[in-house]
A and B are shown apart, each in its own frame.
Chain A
Amino acid sequence: QQQVKQSPQSLIVQKGGISIINCAYENTAFDYFPWYQQFPGKGPALLIAIRPDVSEKKEGRFTISFNKSAKQFSLHIMDSQPGDSATYFCAALGSGNTGKLIFGQGTTLQVKP
């Protein structure tokens, strides 16, 4: 199954809080899981990514947690800031070595001051 399911659809967090976005996949051939941030009128920009042989990756305030057995991964944004307000997409690199990315449905994050 070439799908990635993402939740929640939207999220409102107070400044300084933790934002958590979850994704699940079915295809065990996926081997790379990036998160993208998208601002209105712009293309997706790579935020952070993880391979399935690693359970966690942290870059600054952004952390990916990966549970290979459950086929789930999540993005945690610590100390959320109003500038983090954007749409976040999880994705998976499809099998077949063609560079095809399969995106989740997206989460619109609003961080209130």
Chain B
Amino acid sequence: DADVTQTPRNRITKTGKRIMLECSQTKGHDRMYWYRQDPGLGLRLIYYSFDVKDINKGEISDGYSVSRQAQAKFSLSLESAIPNQTALYFCATSDTTGLNQPQHFGDGTRLSIL
């Protein structure tokens, strides 16, 4: 089983719909992240959370919200989806101990908004 699991893996929906992307992890990490990947732009940070009570905006948080339901679960919501939110979305986790710990990524969610 994957350490960081994202659901769904693929989603096609219409403009204006509310969408939730879910992430769960079995790594026991406190820190969780949501990124968005667009072609030619690399990954950009949407939100991050250091623990259940700590939520922080990233570089591109407008149009998104998150919920940290438990240490192991971090959800990303698009309240009213728009076509330019079509992208590949990644959840990641990291340990708290120092800079040399890589972030561990889920397999991504391909989201298409028509």
Is B a genuine binding partner of A?
no
